[in-house]
Amino acid sequence: MNAYTIADLKAQAQRRVPRMFFDYADSGSWTEGTYRSNEEDFHKVLFRQRVAVDMTNRSLKSTMVGDEVSMPVAIAPTGFGGMQHPDGEMLGARAARAFGIPFTLSTMSICSIEDVSEATGGAPFWFQLYVMRDREFMYNLIDRAKAAGCSALVLTLDLQILGQRHKDLRNGLSAPPKINLNTFWQLASRPRWCLSMLKTKRHTFRNIVGHAKSVGDLSSLSSWTAEQFDPQLSWKDIEWIKERWGGKLILKGIMDPEDARMAAASGADALIVSNHGGRQLDGAPSSLAALPAIVEAVGDKIEVHMDGGIRSGQDVMRALCLGAKGVYIGRPWLYGVAAGGEAGVKTALDIIRKELDLTMAFCGERDIRNAGRHNLVNPDVFKG
């Protein structure tokens, strides 16, 4: 593919995907201030360039919650992946498997747990779970993930209620999408996307339809999703989820040192510093700005990951230098799959790997596990 940066893939995705689905990926809540800060704050972190050091035999290999990875990057759970490209989550999971990094499937994916397991030949992947009012449905989801061989469960804690996302409201994006003159013209303007979507049977949230009570088709899905996210979620819920799951547990959506200490005390294996890509609380700090205080608060009591705003391998390096043991990419993989399917995801991963490798070398490191604050000119940039 003719792409040298994630921005190149984003531009290609915008040309190929109907606006409602592109905007779903490329938007934040309210003023989108936090969404923009997630990207912009990376540029405040400056590297120490070192010279006359041995740059041979470099390695990006690491581990995330004990799983070996070819680089400390995982694909983040994102909704509507299968609307960026037919069978999008299946293609993303295949690309991640070939690359040697984790793929995290969202509860709100278009392709089901079973679809992705089949696409990867039964190879392990991670599954993301929301806390919902329908506990029986949650039990079933957890059991389905176990049966599919998922090696880690990512529990999202920051979606008890939905942030107000103006682009989605203006586009009429819902579950299912509202079909009106606006959406009709959006679809008509992307005939190649429409034709490709006719070749797959996967057009709805297949983890939900046919599995949740009273959700047998698209018409009943919207009302179900509107009432299911549980505003009474508490730390006690983690106990029964952890017991039911019985495997590696990652808590996603931590932005405060006090919550980080609670996450460490819960017995989870890792936490993800995340503001949901700027799609929940607008006016919150960027994930990167919140990272150092959380790392300091928990020490080595729990593994710290982060997501939000990563658009390059240099951004990955910055997060690692500030204490993250691994990062997640959401929009970059969505841009890649939208631009070119499985090959597009591979291109996105290749871009990030090359940029990370070169940046590590310029900083005088040969092993990514040695990246740290000593590689930065201004390691205290986010301290008050």
Residues making up the annotated binding site for FMN are 77-79, 106, 128, 130, 156, 252, 274, 307-311, 330-331
Tokens linked to 163 = 């942030």
CA distance 34 to 293: 18
Residue numbering of the annotated binding site: 24, 77-79, 106, 128, 130, 156, 165, 252, 274, 276, 279, 307-311, 330-331
* Nearest in space to 335 (alpha carbons), one of 312, 359, 307: 312
CA distance 187 to 176: 15
The verdict on whether 276 is a catalytic residue reads yes
List 43, 166, 276, 374, catalytic entry: 276
CA distance 375 to 63: 20
CA distance 104 to 328: 9
User: Hey, which bits of the chain come out as E strands?
Assistant: 62-64, 67-69, 73-75, 104-105, 126-130, 152-156, 248-254, 270-273, 303-307, 326-329
**Is residue 25 a contact partner of residue 276, using CB atoms and an 8 Å limit?**
no
CA distance 88 to 203: 11
Tokens linked to 340 = 């070119």
Residue numbering of the annotated binding site for glyoxylate: 24, 165, 276, 279
CA distance 379 to 165: 33
Active site residues: 276
